Amino acid sequence: MDDFIELIKTKPEIVVTILSGFLLPIVLVWLNNYYNLKSKSKEKELDKKFNADSEIKNQEKAVYASLSKILFDVQQLHVSLSGTCVDKDCINNAVEKFDKSVTKYHEEISNNMLYMSSKIIDEIYRFYSKISDLKITLKEFNDNKEFDMAHVSVYFYSSELAEILIEIQDRILKKRTELQIEFDKTAQEMMTYCCGRKPPKELYEKFMKLIKETKPDISDEQIALMEKRWKEQ
């Protein structure tokens, strides 16, 4: 033992050689394992983020597609009511057909709203609120036997629905800064006036008079927007 201690005192490099030969491989193995684990953890984190982002994109596409299809059905409703509408069955049958068509989109929309932003969800409910307003207005005109007002109602409400859908599209695309998409919501005139030509002046004036009578709580702002839409097309 004394000889070993003396050897260390005289040749300390032997200790360094022994320790480095023993400890260095252990340290290298530990470092390698540490960085492998860290790398795998980072990969899992990136995969999780990618999958979440992909899920959000899929939900956004599903919701936008369903709302677009509902707008197409509103166009078809306008076509159905644009002919000779002379009795209650005309409006009732058209609305019944509309309801059957749009019902299949409700579940798709409700199942894909989990990751929507609060503002987009608010716009979706505003869209549905306008659909309800349209159906109530059609019922009121039907009850009052103002059958010629049916397609005029759809014309004005379809413009509001299109504007809401454009706003939703704008909000979704603004989040996707990685996508190079040329989108200008003010340049979507054909979508805004998706139900074609505006009604003749006499029907427009009759509609504005009746809508003020049947909806006394309608705001001046809403009236002004309707007047603006008719004048601008």
Are 62 and 127 within one domain?
yes
Residue 86 lies in a domain: yes
Are 33 and 73 within one domain?
no
The DSSP H or E segment spanning 143 is helix 118-143
Are 225 and 138 within one domain?
yes
Query: Residue 153, CB half-sphere, CA atoms under 13 Å: how many?
Result: 28
Q: Give, in degrees to the nearest 5, the angle at Cα 109 between 128 and 131.
A: 15
The tens digit of pLDDT for each residue in 155-205 reads: 999 999 999 999 998 888 887 666 556 666 666 666 777 777 888 999 999
The tens digit of pLDDT for each residue in 132-151 reads: 999 999 999 999 999 999 99
Cβ atoms within 10 Å, residue 194: 19
The tens digit of pLDDT for each residue in 5-39 reads: 554 556 555 555 655 555 556 656 666 665 566 55
pLDDT at residue 29, as a whole number? 62
Residue 48 lies in a domain: no
Lowest mean pLDDT among 68-72, 117-121, 181-185: 181-185
pLDDT at residue 47, as a whole number? 47
pLDDT classification of 41: cutoffs 50, 70, 90: low
Decide if 152 contacts 199 (C-beta within 8 A): yes
Are 111 and 204 within one domain?
yes
3-state SS, residue 180: coil
Which amino acid does the sequence have at 134? L
Taking residues 212-233, report their average pLDDT. Answer: 85
Are 113 and 33 within one domain?
no
Percent of the chain past pLDDT 90, that is, above it, reads 40
Are 60 and 30 within one domain?
no
Are 108 and 152 within one domain?
yes
State how many domains the chain has: 2
Please tell me the distance from the alpha carbon of residue 17 to that of residue 178, in angstroms, as a whole number. Answer: 55
Residue 46 lies in a domain: no
Residue 180 lies in a domain: yes
pLDDT at residue 180, as a whole number? 52
Structural domain boundaries enclosing 188? 53-232
The tens digit of pLDDT for each residue in 42-59 reads: 555 544 554 557 788 888
Are 86 and 162 within one domain?
yes
Assess whether pLDDT exceeds 80 at residue 117.
yes
